[in-house]
Structure formats: structure tokens, C-alpha cells
Structure 1
Amino acid sequence: MKDADQSKQLATFAGGCFWCMVKPFDELPGIVSVVSGYTGGRTENPTYEDVGTETTGHAEAVQITFQPELFPYERLLELFWQQIDPTDPGGQFHDRGHSYRTAIFVHNEEQRLKAEASKRALQDSGRFKRPIVTEIVPAGLFYPAEDYHQNYYKTHRREYNLYREGSGRDDYARRNWNNRKDKEQLRRRLTELQYRVTQNNETEPAFQNEYWNNDREGLYVDVVNGDPLFSSEDKFDSGTGWPSFSKPLDEGLIRKEADLSDGQVRTALRARLSKSHLGHLFHDGPEPSLLHFRINSASIRFIPMEDLEREGYGRYSMLFSRRN
């Protein structure tokens, strides 16, 4: 990469059908764009039909422009592995053939070393019984796919959902990630209350939790994976007995889901990457948005402003202008 463009870098991944490889990365903090396309082959300007003939050598892939200070390459790799079956040399799920192979196309030596370390750690983890066959190869020319294929999960929502459900991709991910072994490891790391709230969607007692009346300046991060979720700058006293915020640090790290439990109709909040239950969204918050993100203390960890640099969150110090 050129020194003048260090604030933005490219990452290129092949993970089978490129329709399914955009949404997992899209709209995360630090992700500038995710483009579907073709790479790794020997022909120029391939089309979707060309690649489908299995004669061009190209793979369906996505090219991600990202800001490594906000979303490091190592985290992109972690997310990539969770989207694929890295042990399948013949394609991905019900899409078969060389054009649906998996590969990491590295853009420099630093990426190569990080990709190899990530692949080696995954193999050594014992998560997969078979060898990991995903290739790590130098990036070449990347050809953006036709407009029809860009952001397919947004432009053809129904077709995308049907395709993804039928592909078996999500079933495979559920079996191999966040499975019983992962849950057991998490249970050992969290307190009993933290585990019940984040993994079993429970709600902690009002006024009897750690942060409901915390008024110190700092960040509130995901207790499971450390993602920065909320700032004290957006915290307000809702009178409910739970920590409440008018907005998250980045909408891309929060997922909203319908919650029909306990005979109520509510919007549940879940951390996008750790999939932890956080709390609920209401519309009785402060002006002008009226949004009220009511969060369980057990699902977050508070980092005081003075500790941000030491804990690796120094880039957020600028949020707290009152002491700076």
C-alpha cells in the first residue's frame, strides 16, 4: 500500500457466493466499502456468465476498503473464517466449483503474515477436524461485478434471504461457531449473571446493577469481545434503574431484533459481532431522537476516560472534551 494512503487499505476475500460475503462486513465501523467481484483468474474483464463456466480461473470475491485503526485486518480475518467452510476444496455449501473456492488475497507482506498466523491458529484450535484448505495468495487485479450483484442483500432482500437459507451456510455457522464448546469457554470467563444476560437473554434487576447510576466519563464496551458500544457522553438518567443511552457509538455494531417474549412486543438489542444480548430499545428518550437504549450492566464493561489509552481505546479520548 502507498504511504499516503495508510488510513485506508484493501482486503480481498473469496468465500463462495459473493452475495453472502457482503453483509457480514458491510456497515461496520471502519468499513468504507464492500464490492463484489472477480479475481484470481487469467482472463480480463470477466462477466458473471464467464466465471460461471469455470474456465476463467476467477473466483467470486469481495474487496473491502477499510480503516485499520477502526477495524484491524486481524478482525477482518476472524470475521472471514466465520463465514465459510475452510475445509472444503470443492466450493462452498451448495455452490460447487473452482469459482466458489475460498481464498485470502493478500495485498502486502504484513497481510500475508497476519493471514498465515490466523490460519495456523484456527487449525491449531481444533475447531475443525479436517485440514484447512483455504489458500493465501497474492492479490491481483480485481474486477467489480455487474451492478445487479452489488449489495444484493439490500436490493433483492427476499431472494437473498431465500438463497442464503437454502444454501446451508447459516446452519454450518451455527454448528461450528458459538457452539456448546464456545459456550462452555465463555461461561468460565464471565460471571453467572453476565452469562445469563448475554447468552440467555435475561434481564438483570433494576437499581441493583453496576452501572445504572455511574456518572464517570468513559466508554462502555461489550463484555464478551470488547467492542466499544456506548459513551458516557450519551448516557442519561432514565429513572428505570438500568444504564440508558440516547445512541450507540456506532450503529453498525448494534443489531435490532423483534422480541415477543413475556407477552410484550419490544425491540431487543444485540451486539452484532459477539451476538450478545444487550437490552432493549424504547422511544421515550431525550430530544430530539427520543431513542432510549436501555442496556444491562452485565452485558457491558466500563472503561474510565483516564484508562482508555492503556486499554487500547485511545482513539476515543477525543470524545471527552470536558477534561481535554
Structure 2
Amino acid sequence: MATRAVMFTIGKFRCFPILKSGVAKFTTSSNLLSTATFDPGYTRDPSEVFFKENVQALLDRLTGRDYEKVFQNRKLGQRLEPPKYELLTQAEVDQVMAEMAAKLKRKLQMPPLLKEREPVTKILSEDPELQGFDNCKYVFINISQGINDRKREVVVRDPNGVLRDASWEERQRMCQIYFPVPGRQIYMPKMFEETHLQDCLEKGQYEFVLDRACAQFEPDDPDYIRVTRKTYNCVDENNKFSTLRSTRHFGPMVLHLVLCKRMDNLLFHFITSKDVKAAVDLVRLFHLIWSDPSYSELDEFQLIENYIQGPAVKKPALELAWQTFLEIEKQRLEALSLSQQNTASN
């Protein structure tokens, strides 16, 4: 008994599924996702350092653990459940706190920092006898279950008779039709176009932009790299680091700034916030990435002073902030010592 294929239309796609594979027909006027490259200014592959355990540990500490911020109510269009109050034993409280810590760790899982993927150029066959058969592309996709989308077979027959592997944009678009990813759209949302993106960043919607980018793109997508790096740079230029602290995007932003050697604003933020531990971790991360073994012999204060006197670009501002911090810390210790003496004398 013959099966009947039902054709449907999505935008400018004309698609009709078959038993184990699907065929999609692109018109020549289809607008593919933008493939414009974006140079973030790195001199090395970020994946070489991002996945190192010691780098991950430093980025995790720098991210912070603000439970109220991580678990705050978000406007996602969902109905909020009323709070529940329970009487718990100490053992039950410990168990709940452990569960919350595990949940927080999942929420703060950092998206990877990768280099831009290479374009797909593999040609499977050239059949000139098919040239002129149609003026549209035919896309064939294996719709079998249990296959990773990046490994799924997707091939394209061009009007000139060339059979080739689908480009990344064609692959993502077809996979989204047959295996939709929640939060991802077939066409790139307007908000990621430069004009609209700039408007979102000027309104300070940094976390919203980064969350949407994670849902829409793969980490090595040129558009993902363009959007995220532009957002990181905007946060840095406006000194809005607190907006991303205790979010999954803070670690990748820190690594981006260190790889670009433009972490001075962030270091200044940590010093003026009196967060010396974070400042030390930031300098340690810098030396770790740029392979400077001398830092391991220095104490915390010497680490910061050594960076300010050495690789720092904005030396005057950092020197002033550091000297101000040292003076305040000296006065605090003197007041604490005097208070302890008075307590002992009484």
C-alpha cells in the first residue's frame, strides 16, 4: 500500500517528509543565516584553555554563588506557584541545601568559548546531466531517531547537478524543522541584527541577549560569536559586571576579556568592590593562560601589584584604586587592633 506524503510550507521552504529521510526544496530567493565572520581579537584557540580543569575552577570561583539572583523569579510567561512552608529536621535541611547546591551548579553551567567553525565544502558528486532539471535546491535529511544533529546526514542537490554536504545554516534549518529545539527559531530573530542588538544592549538587557543567543545558535556559530563578544565588550565598556555576576555567562566573559588582554576594567571593579579574592583569581587566570610561571611564588597582594606594574594597560587608574584599598585596609586593621586592646583592658 502506497503511503501518501503531505506537503507543508514554512516560510519559503517547501517540505515533504518520506519514510526515513526528508526532502526540502529551497527557492533561489531563500535568505540563509548571516555568515559574516567576526574577529574577537584572540591570538589562540579559546577551547585550548576553556576546558582545562584549573581554568574551569578559577572561572567557577569568579562567577560567584548568589542564590537569590540565580533562583529569582523570571518573566517567562509561566504561572508562579505559591510558596510552601514545611517544618524540617536538621538532616532534612542539609538534604534540601545539597539539592539546591546541585541545582545551582546546573544553572551556572557555562556555555563554552570556541573558535569559529570551518565552512562545509565537501562535494559528494558532480552530475552535469541533472543540470537544469529544476531551478531550486533539494535537501535530503535523515530523520531517523537517536542521531546527534551535528552527525545527522544532510545533503543538498544544487540546480547545477552538484551533490554536496549541507552548509551549517542549511543543516540547522532542516534539523529545526524535523527536530525542533525549544527556544530556537528557523530564521534568525530580528533582535540579533546589528541595529536591534545595539538597542537591546543600550537598554542593559545583557543576560537576556546571551540567553537567547545560547538557545538560537551553536557555540561555534559565527553569529553566536558575534553576538556574545559584542555583548561582553559592551558590559566591559559600561562597567556593568554586576549584571552578569552569578550567571552562567560571567565565566565566558571573563575568559574573553583575559584572552583579549582587556581585563583592566574588571580588575578595577573587583578592587573598588573590595573583592580581593576575585581580583587575585583574575590575575591568576591571566598568568595561567599566558603561561607565566613566576606568579606561583607571589602572595595575593604581590600578585595584584605585579600585574599593575607589569602587563596592565590602565596603570594610573589601577594604581590609584589599589593604593586607596590598601589605605582603607590599613585603617580597618588599626581600628580592629585598637578595639581588641580596649576589650582586653576592660
TM-score normalised according to structure 2 size: 0.21
Bigger proportion of residues as helix: 2
Q: Which has the higher contact order (CA 8 A, sep 6+)?
A: 2
Between structure 1 and structure 2, the one with the greater Rg is: 2
TM-score normalised to structure 1 length: 0.22
Greater percentage in strand: 1
